[in-house]
Amino acid sequence: MARNRAIVCFGELLLRLNAPGRERLLQSQRLDVHVGGAEANVAVSLAQFGHEARFASVVADNALGEAALGELRRYGVDVSPVARASGRMGLYFMASGATRRPSEIIYDRAGSVFAEAGEETLDWPAILDGAGWLHVSGVTPAVGPKPAAAALKAVRTAKECGVKVSFDGNYRAQLWAAWGGDGPAILRRILACADLAFINERDVGLVLGRDFPRDEAGRRAAFAAAFEAFPGLELIAATRRRQHSVDHHALTAVLATRDGGERRSREWDLSGVVDRIGAGDAFAAGTLRGLIAGHDHRHTVEFAAAAAALKHSMPGDFNIATVADVERALAEDDLDVRR
């Protein structure tokens, strides 16, 4: 695996406008602002882990775009590959749920500069120069035809340049429907370039046009089908979440290899969840970190699951945990105040 080389993350950068505390949207007249986006979250987490993370995107050439980039820089991400364009930032509004009321998100990302940027906007050979990995999620091509073309261009350039490709499923039927894109076809082309995929039985089913049961057997069958369909794929990782209530979850993870081998993490009991957004991205970053650091799969899946678990304790989209934070959580010897 490519050690100590940059990871390039490509995707849209979003502003999240969140009702304070457990209020419903605009119940009071304030919004808390976070910056996020599936691939940006991965970049931040990897930078916090001490890796060189580059973020490639297109943002608005105004105070909002600059502020969003500023948040990435703050957490150590190299944003030099980001282009600016005249237009609007993608937004999402969120009300954090409680008890039996789920969190709610209203997306407002149509017509963003990212969605409108042509595939020529980013110079992929330059961006990928010296990189070890390219990470992209299924949200990026779903945003529109131009991002879809750009995502394909990115993963294909990566393959040509010997940069490994990490892909996070994140199938969003709603986004695909909005512009009539053929999601499964496009995702198949991306997966054909991927070395590592974060997908579960639902994602595989959608991409391959099959239906797998939503259980352990279904997941295994889906993984096998994916390895068969995509011969370049070396690893598949996935988390499974059960929700006892809106703020009490259980989380476990699995890392599977082409040869049928699987490593499962411990199950994390997560009560008093603060913010679950970005947990999947934290898991992806944790997995990539394990691979880059050359850890064995057992440690990699445990580290990645612990990273995802920790994310639930932090407000915002970013998992701003260090390697030391994650390893202390894994050690689990003491939950008392650290002085």
Scanning the structure block, which residue is given the tokens 């105040």?
Answer: 337
Give the number of residues in contact with a second copy, rule: CB under 8 A: 82
Q: Which two tokens stand for residue 147?
A: 């991002």
Between 125 and 274, whose beta carbon lies closer to a second copy? Answer: 274
CB of 167 to a second copy, least distance (A): 20
Taking only Cα atoms into account, the Rg of the chain, rounded to an integer number of angstroms, comes to: 19
Out of 1, 25, 221, 323, which residue is the one contacting a second copy (CB under 8 A)?
A: 25
What secondary structure letter does DSSP report for 88?
Answer: B
Per CB under 8 A, the segment of 25-33, 183-191, 226-234, 259-267 that binds a second copy is: 25-33
CB of 247 to a second copy, least distance (A): 5
Task: In whole angstroms, give the CA distance from residue 166 to residue 164.
Answer: 7
Task: In whole angstroms, give the CA distance from residue 171 to residue 161.
Answer: 27
Scanning the structure block, which residue is given the tokens 């779903």?
Answer: 142
Euclidean distance between the first and the last CA atom of the chain, given in angstroms as a whole number:
37
What is the pattern of x (binds a second copy, CB under 8 A) and - over residues 68-107?
Answer: x-xx-xxxx-----------xx-x-x-x-xxxxxxxxxxx
Per CB under 8 A, the segment of 50-58, 61-69, 129-137, 203-211 that binds a second copy is: 61-69
Of the candidates 14, 15, 17, 18, the one whose C-alpha atom is nearest the C-alpha of residue 96 is 18
Out of 51, 164, 219, 276, which residue is the one contacting a second copy (CB under 8 A)?
A: 276
Out of 1, 2, 85, 110, which residue is the one contacting a second copy (CB under 8 A)?
A: 110
The footprint of a second copy on residues 234-273 (CB under 8 A) is 241, 243-248, 268-273
Q: Which two tokens stand for residue 317?
A: 């989209």
Q: Are 251 and 233 in contact (CB under 8 A)?
A: no
Between 41 and 157, whose beta carbon lies closer to a second copy? Answer: 41
Between 259 and 334, whose beta carbon lies closer to a second copy? Answer: 334
Between 174 and 259, whose beta carbon lies closer to a second copy? Answer: 174
Q: What is the largest CA-CA distance in the chain?
A: 55
CB of 238 to a second copy, least distance (A): 15
Q: 167: buried, middle or exposed (CB in 10 Å: 19+, 13-18, 0-12)?
A: buried
Q: 136: buried, middle or exposed (CB in 10 Å: 19+, 13-18, 0-12)?
A: buried
Between 158 and 305, whose beta carbon lies closer to a second copy? Answer: 305
Of the candidates 21, 16, 10, the one whose C-alpha atom is nearest the C-alpha of residue 64 is 16
CB of 17 to a second copy, least distance (A): 7
Out of 177, 185, 217, 274, which residue is the one contacting a second copy (CB under 8 A)?
A: 274
2: left (phi over 0), alpha (psi -120 to 50) or beta: beta
Between 21 and 130, whose beta carbon lies closer to a second copy? Answer: 21
What is the pattern of x (binds a second copy, CB under 8 A) and - over residues 311-330?
Answer: -xxxxx---xx---x--xx-
Out of 29, 126, 180, 209, which residue is the one contacting a second copy (CB under 8 A)?
A: 29
Between 43 and 256, whose beta carbon lies closer to a second copy? Answer: 43
210 near a second copy, rule: CB under 8 A: no
Between 22 and 220, whose beta carbon lies closer to a second copy? Answer: 22
Element of type H or E holding 243: strand 235-245
Out of 3, 28, 216, 260, which residue is the one contacting a second copy (CB under 8 A)?
A: 28
Scanning the structure block, which residue is given the tokens 């969605």?
Answer: 115
